[in-house]
Amino acid sequence: MSFSVRRVRAGEGERVRELRLRAVSDPAAAMAFLTTYDQEIARDPAFWDERAASGASGDAGAMFIAETADAWIGSATVLVRRTGDLDHTGHRLRTDHAGIVGVFVDPAHRGAGVIDALLDAAADWTAHRGFDTVGLGVHVDNARAQGAYRRAGFVATGEEFTTSIGRERAMTRSLRVR
Ligand SMILES: CC(C)(COP(=O)(O)OP(=O)(O)OC[C@H]1O[C@@H](n2cnc3c(N)ncnc32)[C@H](O)[C@@H]1OP(=O)(O)O)[C@@H](O)C(=O)NCCC(=O)NCCS
């Protein structure tokens, strides 16, 4: 299967929406995503246009998508939080932080390297913004995602925290050139 990864483009809100609806319909969604199908389906087109626009340019974040010749098959988004912003646990950040969210690969294309390419694109973008690490949170029971993250160079930090989906484990990947 041939696929490529690129940053989303402004104007692709409808495709961003369609991929997100597929993601939140996944059997693993309840331990993977902080929003539900009902929440996502209720949003108006302007929300998705804004999500595409903010994912496409600027330094606050970047959304990457994987695509074959005829379909989008996965995504990963980097969100940058600045010193003083609230983190995922409601605490104020003491340093700038880059984290990956919205990780999804279509079931028909799993185990084919798509996740590695998405994470590499996200890491590359983050490194170019001067960060030494990129982090993420993964549900303690989401063994498949943890396996993919470990293979891609993420290690558990030892920190665990609770969100609306339950207990999550923090993982981080070094972006320093070895
Ligand atoms: C998470 C996700 C992006 C990973 O992509 P993928 O293509 O399925 O990942 P891969 O199959 O390449 O890698 C999974 C790894 O976990 C391992 N694994 C799979 N199922 C496992 C299980 N039940 N227990 C332990 N390890 C498991 C695989 O062997 C593989 O590791 P290896 O390459 O060292 O053998 C994809 O499964 C997905 O979209 N899941 C639903 C949404 C989700 O969970 N998103 C992440 C939110 S944090």
Is 111 near ligand 1, meaning CB less than 6 Å away? yes
Q: Please report the pLDDT score of residue 87 as a whole number.
A: 80
Give, in words, the CATH class of 4-131.
Answer: alpha beta
Tokens of 73: 């098959």
The alpha carbon of 145 and the centre of ligand 1 are apart by a number of angstroms equal to 4
Q: Among 75, 144, 172, 173, which is best to mutate for testing ligand 1, by the most ligand atoms less than 8 A from CB?
A: 144
**Per-domain residue ranges of the chain:** 4-131
Instruction: Provide the whole-model pTM.
Output: 0.96
* Structure confidence by residue, pLDDT tens digits, 13-67: 999 999 999 999 999 999 999 999 999 999 999 999 999 999 999 999 999 999 9
Residue 56 in contact with residue 10, Cβ under 8 Å?
A: yes
Q: Whose CA is nearest to atom 8 of ligand 1?
A: 110
Using a 6 Å cutoff on CB, does residue 171 contact ligand 1? no
